[in-house]
Amino acid sequence: MVVILGILFAAFLYWAYLPDYKMNPKEFWKTLIGMPIGLFLGFIGFGALNEVIRIWATGKKSINKNDKKI
């Protein structure tokens, strides 16, 4: 049972992440590592750490309409 779930999980990762890998292989590994960690941190209430990991993985800062421009 565990082997079957492992094979299904590996097939899902291959199918889901192959387009990302083809677009930018360097960013792919950061995404693969950062996304599950960021989702977990956001789920348990650490939104600020989630944002730090997202910026590290993508190199882009989110645009917040509520931020004041200086």
pLDDT tens string 10-38: 888 788 877 877 887 777 777 778 878 88
User: What is the pTM (predicted TM-score) of this model?
Assistant: 0.48
d(CA 63, CA 4): 42
Q: Which of 36, 2, 1 is nearest to 16 (CA)?
A: 36
